[in-house]
């Protein structure tokens, strides 16, 4: 099985969200899936993507996603890394690439290095389901928002890296999947954010596409604008930094965000090959 570890959205190689992309040499049955699950449990990457079928002519692929907790149905987080890897290694052609699934398909553009990902849907803006002070000594305006689905946000004035880690076990107990602390800088048109997502199997998330889209909308609301370009920097206390260049628009209860980012895929000399 061919294994390539890619870095999604890092401000420099190795500073973003690491994803392992596994491409089997033959049919992708349940035995291979079990190997992928075992690989994910011992990997230090955020997620492991097991590629199933891929079609160069149609620019599509299928995949299953695993993390340390097992298989997850949430595929958007790793979409950019898997697509860029398949293009970079020549399995798919540059251009529009789609991940095909029974429930829905997800498409983006990539040349194997850069990705452009569209998000469109209902503009969600509602109260946060739990008081953030349940999980730590936090203060700031809280809301849940996003494109088509809600992430939980607390707007703060300080650097989010200075804050203590929320009580992740308590979050799991009450069913709060995620909690993000962000600072909006209107002069730099920039969001600085720290994302915790224990409900998605990633205690502290180094770089999340749908969260970045939701943060871009939060920036628009903070600025009182209906459309604008903003930068989202997602950071951790471990030194990682993911960068998302976002163009967003709000209107008539709908939202659209296009994210441009960099995916770092190692060259053939640096790729990890594994029989798992």
Q: Which active-site residues does the annotation give?
A: 47
> How many CA atoms does the CB half-sphere of 148 hold within 13 Å?
10
Alpha carbon 63 to chain centroid distance? 16
Distance (Å, rounded) from C-alpha 156 to C-alpha 39? 37
CA distance 47 to 5: 10
Q: Is 64 helix (H, G, I), strand (E, B) or coil?
A: strand
Using CA atoms, how far apart are residues 68 and 242, in angstroms rounded to an integer? 21
The answer to whether 24 and 1 are in contact (CB under 8 A) is yes
DSSP state of 36: H
**Long-range CB contacts (within 8 A, 24+) of 168-172:** 168/196, 168/198, 168/203, 170/134, 170/135, 171/135, 171/196, 171/198, 171/199, 172/198, 172/199
Report the phi/psi class of residue 161: left, alpha or beta, with left for phi > 0 and alpha for psi in -120 to 50.
alpha
- Which residue(s) pair with 42 in the sheet? none
């Amino acid at each position: 099985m061919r294994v390539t570890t890619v870095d999604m959205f890092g401000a420099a190689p190795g500073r973003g969200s690491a994803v392992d992309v596994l491409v089997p040499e033959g049919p992708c049955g349940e035995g291979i899936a079990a190997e992928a699950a075992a690989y994910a449990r011992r990997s230090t990457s955020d997620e492991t993507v097991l590629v199933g079928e891929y079609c160069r002519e149609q620019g599509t692929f299928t995949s299953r996603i695993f993390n340390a907790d097992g298989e997850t149905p949430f595929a958007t987080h790793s979409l950019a890394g898997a697509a860029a890897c398949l293009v970079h290694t020549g399995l798919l052609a540059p251009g529009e690439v789609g991940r095909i699934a029974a429930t829905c398909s997800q498409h983006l553009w990539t040349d194997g290095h850069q990705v452009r990902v569209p998000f469109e849907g209902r503009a969600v803006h509602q109260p946060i389901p739990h008081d953030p002070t349940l999980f730590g000594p936090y203060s700031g305006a809280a809301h849940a928002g996003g494109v088509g689905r809600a992430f939980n946000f607390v707007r703060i004035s300080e650097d989010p890296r200075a804050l203590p880690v929320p009580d992740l076990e308590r979050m799991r107990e009450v069913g709060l999947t995620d909690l993000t602390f962000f600072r909006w800088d209107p002069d730099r048109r920039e969001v600085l954010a720290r994302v915790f997502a224990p409900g998605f199997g990633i205690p502290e998330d180094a770089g999340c596409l749908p969260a970045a889209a939701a943060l871009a909308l939060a920036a628009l609301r903070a600025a009182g604008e209906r459309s604008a370009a903003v930068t989202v920097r997602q950071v951790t206390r471990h030194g990682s930094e993911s960068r998302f260049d976002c163009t967003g628009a709000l209107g008539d209860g709908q939202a659209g965000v296009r994210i441009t980012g960099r995916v770092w895929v190692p060259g053939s000399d640096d790729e990890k090959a594994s029989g798992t």
